[in-house]
Amino acid sequence: MTPRVVYVLPATSLHGGNRVVFEHAEGLQGRGYDVIVVSPEPPPDWHTLRVPYRQIPLGEPGAVPRGDICIGTFWSTMEHAYASGAPHVFHLCQGYEGIHREYGPILPRIEAVYRLPIPKLLISTHLDPILDEAYDGELRTHLISQAIDTSFFTPGPFREAARPLKVGVVGPFDQRPKGIGEALEGLRMARERGVELEVYRASADPMLEEEEQLGVTDHFHHRLSTEQMVGFYQGLDVLVHPSHDEEGFPLPPLEAMACGVPVALTRIRSFAVLPEEAVLRFMPAQPETLAPVIERLTDPHLRRRLRATGRVCAESYTLDTVLDRMERAFALEGAPLSSGVGATMAAGRASGRNTVRLQIDPEPLQAEYTRAAPFPHIAIDGLFEDQVLEGVLRDFPAPGEGSWRKFDNPREKKAGFDYRTRVGENLQRFLYFLSSAPVLEFLEALTGIDGLVPDPYFGGAGPHQSMRGGFLKVHADFNWHPKLRLDRRVNMLIYLNKDWREEYGGHLELWDRDVTRCEQKILPIWNRTAIFNTTDFSFHGHPTPLACPEETSRKSISMYYYTNGRPDEERSAPHDTVFRKTHEHDW
């Protein structure tokens, strides 16, 4: 049976957040779901909607049609979605309304809605810590990120001389968090510094008298359709996006970047997802910091570089990735999936991409695995295709890139993965594959442990990296996932170290139950995968400081798998990582 998905919108007015909803709905329909969008307003006249639409009296009982999945899209729609009778309800969160001071008088109502037992689909990594802090980590969240259709938003011609410099500013003037007035003031200052420029404005609202009196705006565009926005961007030399910290995601900047337009935007939390090399930044509510940035952008070499890096950045935000993440969230929450989703999540949909697949049959290896000493384990060479891991290695963040979590203490010296970090598409797709049904079934057949569950939060998992001198002392792993409330059962470590030599060290050492001797050593060479059971007595680590060259690092991807319960003989109270000394000089 085809799952039915109902999106509930509070309005259909011209708004980037509404277009996001429409694109998600159209994408899910393309994947075989029966999708309908409902709202109390007429259908949008600014976007060609390609899914069924129904205007409903939202406040009336039973107005929201029942679906298998109901997705509310704003805090004010969530109670209606929750009351719709759908067995699975989700909250598409494009920003946390509770941090807007304009919503202060209704904050208790917003907080009550967020505390409903509804998982949140987050479009940006910065929202998770905000919600964690506001609700003491009680909310279930799934990061789905954002998408830009780079086949629709395409570059226009590049103007080398760019005199005057055509500067665009998008958004309503009277909404304080948009910072439009401050941007216009910064552009006025840039003119005073001698920059010849023309200011192009686009807004869903008509031009206000206050903006007109400023005398900065040269061209004003009201209610441009999605199609017309492409032409607007293509006619610019620069886009300025001056939002305050309440902004949910830099959607207009990414649209402009897809159109080859250099972007200057504010240094706020939600904009941190854009790499430094792809944009220029200025401070929110400080127009004097914008003027010198505009002056820099008169340099055609700088604009050309930003045009190229911005387009590459925009191309990484694909709708397929967002839909894959949504379907992953559906699966984790027990919602029905359209047919063929497992294959999609495992391999990706884009043509010409390397398909991720396993190269080894686990059945003949089960006896070797279960009988191995000092505890069940195996090292498998060539489990993945080399060309797939080549792509993963290209996307593997360098030590100075991304949001590595640094550990430097007597027990460990390494860098670990923060799941909020943006990673390249090859690495992203590989991490998803490691959480997919084919991998779970492989591990279940190999280990004999049924009902394995991946960790969507990558708690302690994901990419790991150690430089020369790095180490991880012998330990037994934490045994309980506090958020999933599941028992940790299996580790899988994939090594990505080409030309790794024995003398570099870094062997994965497996120690006996009493931690008196090392019984196995596994060299972390290219395309070698180590898999082992995790119990209170599966002591392991790479305790000797690495002796690799300074420019080399020990790279791996770690994945941890869980079950709901474990054998009685393995049970113990929940605990964190337990380190054990193996040498006198250890801490």
Which of 110-119, 234-243, 326-335 is least confident?
Answer: 326-335
pLDDT greater than 80 at residue 422: no
* pLDDT 10s digits, 344-384: 443 343 333 445 678 888 988 999 999 999 999 999 999 99
pLDDT greater than 90 at residue 398: no
Would you kindly state where each structural domain of the chain is located, as residue ranges? 4-143, 165-315, 340-579
pLDDT greater than 60 at residue 568: yes
- Whose tokens are 């989700």? That residue is 90
Instruction: Please report the pLDDT score of residue 530 as a whole number.
Output: 97
pLDDT tier at 248, thresholds 50, 70, 90: confident
* pLDDT 10s digits, 269-298: 999 888 888 999 999 999 999 999 999 999
Task: Write the secondary structure of 135-173 as one string of H (helix), E (strand) and C (coil).
Answer: CCCCCCEEECCCCCCCCCCCCCCCCCCCCCEEEEEECCC
Assign a CATH topology to domain 340-579: Jelly Rolls (2.60.120)
CB 504 within 8 A of CB 439: no
Between residues 148 and 418, the one the model is more confident about: 148
- Structure token pair of residue 286: 């400080």
Q: What is the dihedral of CA 183, 188, 194, 200, to 10 degrees?
A: 60
CB 216 within 8 A of CB 201: no
User: Global pTM?
Assistant: 0.60
Give the closest residue to 508 by CA, choosing from 482, 475, 481: 475
Surface-to-core class of residue 572, CB atoms within 10 Å of its CB (0-12 exposed, 13-18 middle, 19+ buried): exposed
pLDDT greater than 80 at residue 98: yes
Percent of the chain at pLDDT > 90 equals: 78
CA–CA distance, 231 with 346 (Å, rounded to integer)? 37
Q: What is the per-residue DSSP string for 212-224?
A: HHHT--SEEEES-
Instruction: Please report the pLDDT score of residue 423 as a whole number.
Output: 77
Percent of the chain at pLDDT > 70 equals: 96
Which residue blocks in 276-383 are alpha helix, DSSP H?
Answer: 291-296, 300-315, 319-332, 341-347, 366-371
Instruction: Please report the pLDDT score of residue 99 as a whole number.
Output: 93
Between residues 164 and 397, the one the model is more confident about: 164
Instruction: Please report the pLDDT score of residue 356 as a whole number.
Output: 67
Please give the DSSP secondary-structure letter assigned to residue 19.
H
Instruction: Please report the pLDDT score of residue 429 as a whole number.
Output: 87
Instruction: Please report the pLDDT score of residue 520 as a whole number.
Output: 96
Average pLDDT over residues 536-565: 95
Average pLDDT over residues 227-233: 96
CB 207 within 8 A of CB 201: yes
Q: What is the per-residue DSSP string for 344-358?
A: HHHH-S-TTSPPP-B
CA–CA distance, 430 with 492 (Å, rounded to integer)? 13
pLDDT greater than 70 at residue 341: no
Query: Which residue type does 285 have?
Result: A
CA–CA distance, 556 with 515 (Å, rounded to integer)? 24
Instruction: Please report the pLDDT score of residue 340 as a whole number.
Output: 47
Is the fold of 165-315 the same as that of 340-579?
A: no
Which of 27-36, 344-353, 396-405, 499-508 is least confident?
Answer: 344-353
Instruction: Please report the pLDDT score of residue 349 as a whole number.
Output: 37
Give the closest residue to 290 by CA, choosing from 392, 180, 163: 180
pLDDT greater than 70 at residue 323: yes
Instruction: Please report the pLDDT score of residue 426 as a whole number.
Output: 86
Give the closest residue to 378 by CA, choosing from 294, 491, 296: 491
Instruction: Please report the pLDDT score of residue 351 as a whole number.
Output: 33
Q: How far is CA 486 from CA 386, 513, 560, 563, in A?
A: 33, 24, 11, 6
Mean of pLDDT over the chain: 92
What sign does the CA torsion over 452, 457, 462, 465 have? negative
| CA 220, chain centre distance (Å) | 35
Q: How far is CA 504 from CA 263, 378, 413, 541, in A?
A: 44, 22, 16, 15
Average pLDDT over residues 439-452: 94
* pLDDT 10s digits, 448-478: 999 999 998 888 999 999 999 999 999 999 9
User: Would you mind telling me the total number of residues written for the chain in this entry?
Assistant: 587
* pLDDT 10s digits, 20-70: 999 999 999 999 999 999 999 999 999 999 999 999 999 899 999 999 999
- Whose tokens are 């686009």? That residue is 202
CATH 3.40.50.2000: does it fit domain 165-315? yes
Helix count and strand count (H, E) for the chain: 16, 27
Q: In what order do the strands lie in the sheet with 53-55?
A: 53-55, 34-39, 4-8, 69-72, 88-93, 120-122, 141-143
pLDDT greater than 80 at residue 515: yes
What's the CATH class of domain 4-143?
Answer: alpha beta
- Whose tokens are 């935000």? That residue is 317
- Structure token pair of residue 511: 């120690």
